[in-house]
Amino acid sequence: MAIPLISDLLERFFGPAEDPHSRDDVKRRLKIVLAHDRLALDPQTLEMMRQEIIAVVSRYVEVDFDALEFSLATDQRVTALTANLPIRRIRPLGRGADQPISPDSEAKKIELASQSEILAMDAEEAEAALRRFEAKNNAEGSSDGQDPIHAPLDIDRSGLDEETQDDNAALSEDDVAAMNSEAETSTETGESGSEVPDMSAPDSSVSMKSSGNTNSESA
């Protein structure tokens, strides 16, 4: 018999010192994944449902967006959707609903806007450059009474808007993924550019990740 190591001896005597709770872990994971499997609802639909529920509830009460929870649980082969929406306060009469934080639609808004937005930004940048150029000219050369404010470039956006709507109709998962990365780049462009309205949504990006987890688990 080979001489066993001390740790070997200890293990043989006291039993293996492995993670004692893996049984609970696996039960928890299994229950979640089964709840999703059994419902057979695709993650997009689930997300849509989530957003609509928040929207409806937000009409009446102010929801704590940071603390809300949606989960699927299953018992006796019956699946239940549980929504936990902590309420900050009842909405004062006459005040409209807050925009519910909806990471997906937020992301889509960014993506969908990106094409036309980029063009618009290009135009704005071009405009700004033109102004700078003119200002420089005016300062250097003798100002001969030229109007310092250049007429804005005339850009027809209507066509662009239609195009983005078509994109929307033909969204496939790959498109969404591709556009997500696109959205990131356009957000960056937006920071260097001047007038992109509030595209950073730090909170929503967190919940986006959690919904992504759900996707991969139920896929």
Partner 1 sequence: MSRIIVMTSGKGGVGKTTCTANLGMALAKAGQRVAVVDADFGLRNLDLLLGLENRIVYTALDVLAGECRLDQALVKDKRQPNLALLPAAQNRSKESIKPEQMKRLIKALTKVYNFILIDSPAGIEMGFRNSIAAAREAIIVTTPEISAVRDADRVIGLLEANDIKAVRLVINRLRPAMVAAEQMMSVKDVQGILSIPLLGVIPDDEQVIVSTNKGEPLVLEEKLSKAGIAFTNVSQRLQGEKVPLMDLSIPQDSFFTRLKRLFGM
- Residues engaged in binding partner 1 (CB under 8 A): 1, 4, 9, 12-13, 15-16, 18-24, 26-27, 29-31, 33-34, 37-38, 76-77
CB of 217 to partner 1, least distance (A): 11
Closest approach of Cβ 78 to partner 1, in Å? 9
Q: Least CB distance from residue 125 to partner 1, whole Å?
A: 53
The Cα 97–Cα 199 span in angstroms is 20
Which tokens sit at 125?
Answer: 């940048």
Quote the least distance from Cβ 122 to partner 1, whole Å: 50
Q: How far apart are CA 101 and CA 201, in angstroms?
A: 9
Q: Which amino acid is at 1?
A: M
**In sequence order, what DSSP letters do the residues of 59-114 get, joined into one string?**
HHEEE-TTT-EEEEEEETTEEEEEEE--EEEEPPTTPPPPPPP-HHHHHHHHHHHH
For partner 1, the closer of residues 115 and 215 by Cβ is 215
DSSP letter, residue 194 = S
Cβ proximity to partner 1, 13 vs 89, nearer residue: 13
User: Would you say 37 or 191 has its CB closer to partner 1?
Assistant: 37
User: Which residue lies nearer to partner 1 by CB, 76 or 172?
Assistant: 76
Instruction: Quickly tell me which residue has 């449902």 as its tokens.
Output: 49
User: CA 118 from chain center: how many Å?
Assistant: 20
Q: Which is nearer to partner 1, 26 or 178 (by Cβ)? A: 26
Structure tokens at 82: 């549980």
Least distance to partner 1, CB of residue 43, Å: 17
